[in-house]
Chains A and B, each alone.
Chain A
Amino acid sequence: MPLATLAFTIATIWIFLHGSATPGHFFVGLVMAFFIIRFLKKSYYQDRTFFRIGSYFRYLRSFTWELLIANVQVLKIVLSPRLSIRPGIIPYKTVCKTPLGVTMLANSITLTPGTLSIDVSDDDETIFVHTLDIDHPDEVAEGIRKGLEEPIVGAVE
């Protein structure tokens, strides 16, 4: 998102935070946005493409669904009287190329079904995933590919 749009977004969020939509508050928001952007410009990842809103929403929907399954699975494992888990670390080869894509994928993996990303290899190609209950490593990888990686590739790659 271009920096000017970012400034307006921050000012709008400020208005909502404040709860009163007057031009004065919007101006205060813009001034704050100016300083925020000034301090954080170096670490801001500038995307050349504008929003791909449709793909973002598809990712969000897919992610929310996976999140729901994740929590029910953890619930079942934690509350079962006999703790039957078979944890392990498996490698996952990603097709994401950009730093943003890999970061989003690694974070999404941590938040979803029985998986936790431990490290990313130096060449940014393999994510090491700790899995709470491995029956078939291939199935785990397939789940990540279908549920998370494809929507992320659609949204930011």
Chain B
Amino acid sequence: MSEALAAVLLLGGSFFMLVASIGLIRLPDVYCRMHAATKATTFGMGGILLGASLIFQNAAVTTQALLAIFFLFLTAPVAAHLISRAAYKRGPDLCAETTHDEYGKYLEGQKAEEESPERYGDA
């Protein structure tokens, strides 16, 4: 029973990893690709690790798997956040299909504020 469940988890996890890789190729720009990279890998990796801990049924392995999942979920979004932020500030543009870009407006507003002399009252 637990072996069947472990098999399902391992296969499901690998399937999500595959979907993440396909998404990485198919999606049009950096930001969309980050969606595929963060979500499917955390989920896929989580499934694989849980499956592994089910097979071994050993306190040490289970703890290691749970800690790995915990830190994966802690670090993946931070990496995605930094990569997409850095990409926006100095790299490739948003893809042509993009409909809203409020962040660009915010950055422009910030820039204008820094450059405007009125901010300091004189000059």
Contacts of B95 in A (CB 8 A): 87
Which of B26, B77, B85, B98 touches A111 (beta carbons < 8 Å)? B77
Are A74 and B19 in contact, CB atoms less than 8 angstroms apart? yes
**What is the count of residue pairs linking A and B with beta-carbon distances less than 8 angstroms?**
134
Chain A 62-83 per-residue mask, 1 if CB under 8 angstroms from chain B, else 0: 0000010011001101110001
Which of B59, B80, B94, B100 touches A116 (beta carbons < 8 Å)? B80
Looking at the assembled complex, report how far the CB atom of B9 sits from the nearest CB atom of chain A, in whole angstroms.
Answer: 14
Are A74 and B26 in contact, CB atoms less than 8 angstroms apart? no
Are B81 and A117 in contact, CB atoms less than 8 angstroms apart? yes
**Complex: how many Å from CA A110 to CA B78?**
9
Interface size on A, residues (CB 8 A): 42
Which of A71, A85, A110, A137 touches B81 (beta carbons < 8 Å)? A110
Most buried by A among B27, B31, B100, B104: B100
**Complex: how many Å from CA A107 to CA B73?**
9
Known contacts A13-B67, A74-B23, A88-B100; 18 additional CB pairs below 8 A are A16-B60, A67-B42, A67-B43, A70-B43, A71-B16, A71-B39, A75-B19, A78-B27, A83-B26, A86-B99, A88-B99, A89-B98, A89-B100, A91-B103, A106-B81, A116-B34, A122-B110, A134-B100
Listed from nearest, the 9 A-B pairs whose CB atoms lie closest are A88-B100, A110-B77, A19-B60, A78-B23, A16-B63, A107-B77, A128-B103, A89-B103, A88-B99
**Complex: how many Å from CA A117 to CA B25?**
21
Q: Counting CB contacts under 8 A, is A61 at the interface?
A: no
Q: Counting CB contacts under 8 A, is B84 at the interface?
A: yes
Q: Counting CB contacts under 8 A, is A36 at the interface?
A: no
Looking at the assembled complex, report how far the CB atom of B34 sits from the nearest CB atom of chain A, in whole angstroms.
Answer: 6
Chain B residues with CB under 8 Å of chain A are: 16, 19, 22-23, 26-29, 31-32, 34-36, 38-40, 42-43, 58-60, 62-64, 67, 73-74, 76-78, 80-81, 84-85, 88, 94-95, 97-104, 106, 110
Q: Give 30 CB contacts A-B under 8 Å.
A: A17-B63, A19-B58, A67-B43, A70-B43, A71-B40, A74-B23, A74-B39, A78-B22, A78-B23, A78-B36, A85-B27, A86-B99, A87-B31, A87-B99, A88-B99, A89-B94, A89-B103, A91-B103, A106-B81, A107-B81, A108-B77, A110-B76, A111-B42, A111-B77, A117-B81, A118-B88, A128-B103, A130-B35, A132-B32, A134-B100
Within 8 A of B (CB), among A126-147: 126, 128, 130-132, 134, 137
Are B39 and A130 in contact, CB atoms less than 8 angstroms apart? no
Contacts of A70 in B (CB 8 A): 39, 43
